[in-house]
Copies of this chain bind each other. A is one copy, B any other.
Amino acid sequence: MNPETSMETATPYAPVALEFWYEFGSNYSYLSVMRVKELAEQYGVPIVWKPFLLGPIFKSFGWESSPFVLQKEKGAYVWQDMARECVKYNLPWKCPTSFPRSALLPMRVALLGADKPWIVDYNKRMMQVNFVEDLDIDNEEIVSKVLTELGLPASQLIAEAQSEDNKRRLRAQTETARQRGIFGAPTFFVDGTLFWGNDRLQDALIFAAGLKILPLD
């Protein structure tokens, strides 16, 4: 056994994975999608990508839209907050002229790519289309354009994304989100512990890296 292996064995807490639950229609998911890869690498934490649909979650609460639409006082604030957050994180930002944007097709494609290397860039590009280019994202034209830019077989992936099996998988993943107590996006799970919101991304990574033990209840 060489000293390096020995040191690794002696590490009290091996990093566990960060489950990253996100939605392309969610503005606070945009912040995390743009930040998570680089930040997770700093902490040595692997990411498990968990695309899901927010709409059915909100419907299960009896809501017909995003709380940012339904509660107008909070809605008015959110766009000021987003502009400031993007300055803070040095991210481009254009307030969307349509919100929340439907993201069914791009989320189905994300589910296909969740365990592929291209998921990182695909997520970022779809988010930029929504929150920087201010364009609708739930159509074949834009999804095809993004996939092609990434050098991927767009027609094939879109056909696969729209297969009954893949549609069923996204519904099942969304139902899992609901059952696990997810009530918004982004949400992070680390070893069964839920962290909600871009504001908790770093805390979740610190917890995943085992740098600090946080109480579980």
Contact = CB atoms under 8 A, between A and B. Distances in A.
A97 B77 CA distance: 31
Interface string A44-82: 000000000000000001000000000101101101110
Interface stretch (A83-91, A99-107, A155-163): A83-91
B77 A217 contact: no
Nearest to A85: B203
Interface stretch (A7-15, A35-43, A139-147, A193-201): A193-201
A11 to B, nearest CB: 21
A194 B78 CA distance: 10
Interface residues of A, number: 29
A76 B194 CA distance: 11
A61 B214 CA distance: 35
B71 A194 contact: no
A215 B181 CA distance: 34
A183 B196 CA distance: 20
A194 B212 CA distance: 32
A216 interface: yes
A77 B76 CA distance: 25
Contacts of A193: 80
A181 B71 CA distance: 11
Contacts of A79: 217
17 contacts: A61-B71, A71-B183, A73-B181, A73-B182, A73-B183, A74-B183, A76-B181, A77-B181, A77-B183, A77-B194, A80-B193, A81-B195, A83-B217, A84-B214, A87-B212, A87-B215, A199-B199
Interface of A: 61, 71, 73-74, 76-77, 79-81, 83-84, 87-88, 181-184, 193-196, 199-200, 203, 212, 214-217
Given A80-B193, A87-B212, 15 more contacts: A61-B71, A73-B181, A74-B183, A76-B181, A77-B181, A77-B194, A79-B217, A81-B195, A83-B214, A83-B215, A83-B217, A84-B203, A87-B214, A87-B215, A199-B199
